[in-house]
Structure 1
Amino acid sequence: MDVLASHSVLLNKIYKNETMPTEVSTVFPIKTVEELEKLNNGISEEDIPFYVATVKMKIKAGGLIKNFSKLISEDICLKYNYNGTHGKLPFCQYLKINGYFEGAVGDENYTSLIKQAFKRAKNNFFKKECLKRK
């Protein structure tokens, strides 16, 4: 009986870690610059674990690079790059959002991963546009 009780406690912990609140899950993908600003500035400290869990759930299958479009729309990807070079806006200025992404990825090479994610998203967009013209 004790084993059954301990298993149910462990399953409840796993379930709480795997589920994400619906109000947080509707935030992604970020579609506009206003949503990006709102997400970066309007989050309280107690909501951070929910956002990290949401990002983890969104990128769980293939990692940040393959699932970046689930987090940020193509329009945002085309306007931004990580450092803000070549006439683009800097994504690194959004410290809270980068913190959520870095916490979800859990890799020490986060900056190179996010740069590759922007590059892949832009390449996919331009490839689709090229195929539309053919």
Structure 2
Amino acid sequence: MFKQSFNITSSEFADDKENSNSKKEDIAEIKQRLERIEKRQLEMLTILKKLTNEDIASESHWFPILTMGDLEKVDQQVKEQKIANGNVAKNFDSIISKDIIPNLNYDGLNGKKPFKEFKYLNDALADAIKTEGSTKKTYIATIRNCFKVQKGRLAKQKFDCKIKVDNKT
């Protein structure tokens, strides 16, 4: 039926040997890249596990955010990480200091710094408060409410201090 010829010349054999060496080098390089990726993934997983196993308020090296400069730094730091799940609304002053809350609002209205500019921090907070069926709109409403509640608390504290001073005189 079919008769095939398997005559291989020495030059064809040398080409196959070079291709084989080239492929082995490529495979070795791919293995090295995969090992580096694996190492980075393990580092990231360790950081994520640490962040997700701790309470938001216990992130003492980040929170509360005391200055606008710190807010910008934290925004960049949470770019690849998550904030632990927790009640963000109740603990908002543990996330952002009472000293800078009055200088912020979500949209930056009335000459205040827009909180929405801190994309990564917003994404991390959205993940922390995410519930089934939540949307970007519900997140924005929640954050706006957080600012409103905290500013109300600050106003009440200020008022209470003023009443105490007035009562002493």
Q: What TM-score does the superposition give when structure 1 sets the normalisation length? A: 0.71
What's the counterpart of residue 160 of structure 2?
Answer: 131
Cα distance 1:115–1:44, how it changes in 2: closer, same or farther (>3 A)? closer
Partner of 1:4 in structure 2? Answer: none
Shift of 1:92: 0.2
> Paired residue for 1:76?
100
Could you say which residue in structure 2 is the equivalent of 1:13?
none
Q: Which has the higher contact order (CA 8 A, sep 6+)?
A: 1
Question: Post-superposition, which runs of at least 4 consecutive aligned residues in structure 1 deviate over 3 A?
Answer: none
Aligned to 1:20: 54
Match of 2:74 among 39, 62, 71: 39
Identity over aligned residues, as a percent?
Answer: 30
Q: Tell me how large the CA RMSD over aligned residues is.
A: 2.1
Gaps of 5+ in 2: 1-48, 164-169
Residues in 2 aligned to 1:105 and 1:44: alpha-carbon distance in whole angstroms: 17
Greater Rg, structure 1 or structure 2? 2
Report the TM-score when normalising by structure 2.
0.57
In structure 1, distance between residues paired with 2:155 and 2:149: 10
Which residue number corresponds to residue 140 of structure 2? 111
Alpha carbons of 1:66 and 1:20: their partners in 2 closer, same or farther (altered >3 Å)?
A: closer
The structural deviation recorded for 1:44 is: 5.5
- Give yes or no for contact 1:64–1:113 (8 Å, CA) kept in 2: no
Q: Which amino acid aligns with 1:20?
A: E
In 2, the alpha carbon distance for the partners of 1:39 and 1:81 equals 17
Structure 1 stretches of 5 or more lacking a match? 1-15
